[in-house]
């Protein structure tokens, strides 16, 4: 999947005109890229379109229009675009109650390394987490992590030939799995393996 360049982005003025339609398109696209794993963990699988939206929103909110600022945003978000043999996801632990969230994040230390995907007939692939920076502390994990799942050629081939996909978390305090995931999610993720 190609990385984004400045040529792929709208100017602030263009984006203001196109934002409503573009946002609606992206939200429809994201619908089949979001996977809830248990009651508080969610994976948001990223791709070129989701990252274009993220960058456009950052440029809009921060009023960034200079080339150096745009390049900075591209450098920050391009690594979250799949490379053709992997999936990349934002992993969130979503608990609205502040005290419960604090306790949960303490209990779930290391959860980001226990998230997995499995193409039917193949071994689980555990996430490679937070390659950009350390996100946890000595006493708690972060509520947001960035994950990469590296698939073998056989896994991609099997998936392309109809194998089912499972996603789960294997942590001592949080163990859930979805096997198989919804067909729409499977198809969306299959498109990332080019």
Q: pLDDT for 37-70, tens place per residue?
A: 999 999 999 999 999 999 999 999 999 899 999 9
Task: Express each pLDDT in 117-136 by its tens digit.
Answer: 999 999 999 999 987 766 67
Element (H, E) at 70: helix 67-77
Q: Please state which architecture CATH assigns to domain 32-46+83-194.
A: Sandwich (2.60)
Give the pLDDT of residue 101.
93
Report the C-alpha gap between 64 and 56 in whole angstroms. 10
pLDDT of res. 60:
95
Q: What percent of the chain has pLDDT over 70?
A: 97
Evaluated on CA atoms 4, 7, 8, 14, the torsion sign reads positive
Question: Structure pTM?
Answer: 0.90
C-alpha to C-alpha distance for 11 and 25, rounded to whole angstroms: 18
80, 34 Cβ separation under 8 angstroms: no
Strand partners, 180: none
Residue 139: the pLDDT is 84
Identify the pLDDT of residue 133. Answer: 61
**According to CATH, where is 2.60.40 located in the chain?**
32-46+83-194
Output the pLDDT for position 137. 73
Residue 134 confidence (pLDDT): 67
Point out the residues of the chain with pLDDT beneath 50: none
146 Cβ contact list (under 8 Å, min separation 6): 80, 88, 89, 90, 91, 129, 130, 131, 132
Q: What is the DSSP string of 152-193?
A: PHHHHHHHHTT--EEEEEEETTEEEEESSPPHHHHHHHHTT-
Strand, helix or coil for residue 19: helix
Element (H, E) at 116: strand 115-119
Smallest CA-to-CA distance from 82 within 122, 117, 134 is with 117
């Amino acid at each position: 999947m190609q990385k984004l360049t400045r040529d792929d982005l709208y100017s602030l003025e263009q984006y203001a005109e196109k934002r409503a339609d573009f946002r609606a398109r992206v939200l429809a696209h994201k619908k089949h890229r979001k996977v809830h794993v248990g009651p508080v963990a969610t994976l948001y699988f990223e791709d070129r379109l989701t990252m274009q939206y993220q960058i456009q929103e950052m440029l809009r909110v921060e009023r960034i229009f200079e080339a150096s600022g745009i390049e900075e945003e591209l450098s920050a978000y391009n690594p979250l675009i799949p490379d053709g043999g992997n999936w990349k996801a934002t992993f969130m632990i979503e608990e609205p109650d502040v005290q419960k969230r604090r306790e949960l994040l303490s209990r779930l230390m290391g959860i980001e390394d226990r998230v997995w995907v499995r193409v039917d007939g193949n071994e689980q692939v555990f996430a490679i987490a937070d390659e950009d920076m350390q996100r946890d502390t000595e006493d708690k994990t972060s509520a947001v992590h960035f994950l990469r799942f590296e698939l073998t050629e056989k896994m991609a081939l099997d998936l392309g030939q109809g194998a089912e996909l499972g996603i789960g978390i294997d942590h001592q305090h949080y163990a859930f799995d979805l096997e198989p995931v919804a067909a729409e999610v499977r198809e969306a993720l299959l498109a990332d393996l080019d």
